[in-house]
Amino acid sequence: PDPLFAATTEMEMYTHLFNKMASTCFEKCASRKHKEEDLALGEMSCSDRCVSKYLEAQEKVGVVLQKANEAQMKQQQNFADMQNALGG
């Protein structure tokens, strides 16, 4: 695979992750009344904790996804081995 493509795709993924995180933490932490032009202290500390939890959730999901991928590959390998044994 093309290394430049891989790098671009990874960067796109991080940009996308960042945008979703910013959007979700805004929804969860910012009052929807928008009376002030600035963020209140409570809204800012809420968003700090939100980022921290979001990144932790990202790690946990990564582990689950990795395991699922490995399980799927193993299954495909078993299937290929079985076919070889039957064919050989």
User: Which two three-digit tokens encode residue 17?
Assistant: 């992750």
* 3 state DSSP class of 1: coil
**Residues at the contact surface with another protein, assessed by CB under 8 A:** 1-2, 5-6, 8-13, 15-26, 28-30, 32-39, 43-44, 46-58, 60-65, 68
The number of CA neighbours under 13 Å toward the Cβ of 42 is 4
- Taking the least distance from each CB to another protein, the nearer of 63 and 85 is 63
CB of 48 to another protein, least distance (A): 6
CB of 66 to another protein, least distance (A): 10
Handedness of CA 28, 31, 34, 38 (dihedral sign): negative
